[in-house]
Amino acid sequence: TIYPSSHLSNFVARTVKPAFTPLATRSFSSTQPNMVKVLAILYSGGQVAQDEPRLLGTTENKLGLEKLLKEQGHEFVVTDDKEGPNSKMAKEIVDADVVITTPFHPGYLSREVIATAKNLKLCITAGVGSDHVDLNAANERQITVAEVSGSNVVSVAEHVIMTILVLVRNYNVGHEQIVLGKDGGWKVSAIARDAYDLEGKVVGTIGAGRIGYRVLQRLVPFNCKELLYFDYQDLPGDAAKQVNARRVADLKDFLSQCDVVTVNCPLHEGTRDLINADTIKSMKKGAWLVNTARGAICNAEAVKAAVESGHLLGYGGDVWNHQPAPKDHPWRSMKNAHEGGNAMVPHYSGTTLDAQKRYADGTVEILQNWLNGKPQTQANLIVEKGDYATKAYGQRK
Ligand code: NAD
């Protein structure tokens, strides 16, 4: 199962309502009845994807959708070309009924782009996190946005634990001595001066949903001093008790108590730039910050300044405020005063081969439900019928 049983009430479908107008009464772009145009924005895998068919989330392997859609007579366009008005995405979206995009190579559906997509009825996120769609604009147009909830939450939680350890144990400085020959290829003191145990530290998560809770669960055996969470939703039932986590209601109060902060909430109006020059001041000097949620939750320049000044000993994660990240992005070059403290990688934590199978299957299911006029799994719906279907994208009435 995707969720711990104690956590069920937070995440299972509360009501299952007919989500979509039955196929027969819908109008599609195509002149042929019941034919739709599906546009998928995926990352290109090149030869690697041809060699490894389990790389389902690539333009080559197409989420396993090609045969299925072609057999049903639908039009299916796949591209990785997504930036600007002359991109293939911009050209193809104008008459697409469905857009599928993956957060790893997001097709950004801004308000302006949505305005050009006259036939758009459904956006599917092949993965988790639908901030690449302007959700308010989608609501105004009654466009449904659905994602494959839970599909990669373990993949990300494992990556969070890895990144925390990479930073706290100062792994990269040691690794670079070995593979790049830095510090003469072997200088233990240069590694150890910033290396600590995770045991005895206070670790807190911003967002204690599916991923945040799994991070807390995985931290339990490390005997941290305390586990904290900051979220406007309480953990359900005895979930907090099971991991011995304490909720802190005020963000600055929360930040001031943590040695390690891990960010696990969606990006929305209330979380964009949440970690900025001002809130970083509340963090302990020498703390570590890990963000695998969305790059834009942490202000790029403020994080770089904090790492370089030594206020933060390190920052790590896999998400960037624009993807692919530009060559001169501040997080590529930032280092602390001792040449460490950077645990950034490209966005891949939620796209392990295990995860790709799950989100590809989930994408097929969402699409098939829609094509057949069947209700969606409630937990997969982000916005529907002009309103938010989830409580995770900010506190709303
Ligand atoms: P979820 O919906 O289960 O949980 C999100 C939690 O964040 C909820 O409990 C919600 O109340 C909380 N939250 C929202 N706004 C908040 C705020 N202002 N302050 C504190 N908490 C807030 O979602 P999830 O499955 O745990 O995923 C969380 C996010 O992780 C996704 O939205 C996505 O952006 C990101 N993600 C990244 C990857 C990756 O590969 N790096 C993969 C999957 C998901």
| pLDDT value at residue 81 | 98
| pLDDT value at residue 369 | 97
Mean pLDDT for each 10-residue chunk of the chain (397 residues)? 38 32 40 80 97 98 96 97 97 98 97 98 98 98 98 98 98 98 98 98 98 98 98 96 98 98 98 98 98 98 98 98 96 98 98 98 98 97 98 91
- 347 in catalytic set: yes
| pLDDT value at residue 143 | 98
352 lines ligand 1 (CB under 6 A): no
| pLDDT value at residue 396 | 84
| pLDDT value at residue 196 | 98
pLDDT tens across 332-377, in order? 999 999 999 999 999 999 999 999 999 999 999 999 999 999 999 9
Ligand 1 atom having least distance to the Cα of 394: 15
pLDDT tens across 252-287, in order? 999 999 999 999 999 999 999 999 999 999 999 999
- 336 in catalytic set: no
Tokens of 323: 């993807």
| pLDDT value at residue 20 | 35
297 lines ligand 1 (CB under 6 A): no
| Helices 210-219 and 153-168: angle between axes, nearest 10 degrees | 50
How far is the C-alpha of 245 from the C-alpha of 240, rounded, in Å? Answer: 5
Is the confidence metric ipTM above 0.90 for this complex? Answer: yes
| pLDDT value at residue 11 | 36
- Which residue is closest in CA terms to ligand 1's atom 39? 350
How far is the C-alpha of 381 from the C-alpha of 147, rounded, in Å? Answer: 7
Contact between 92 and 117 under an 8 Å Cβ cutoff? The reply is no
Which member of 61, 152, 172, 380 is catalytic? 152
| pLDDT value at residue 397 | 73
The pTM of the full predicted model, rounded to 2 decimals, is: 0.93
387-388, strands of its sheet edge to edge:
75-79, 37-41, 98-101, 122-125, 144-147, 381-384, 387-388
Q: Ligand 1 center to residue 122 CA distance, Å?
A: 21
| pLDDT value at residue 8 | 36
| pLDDT value at residue 34 | 79
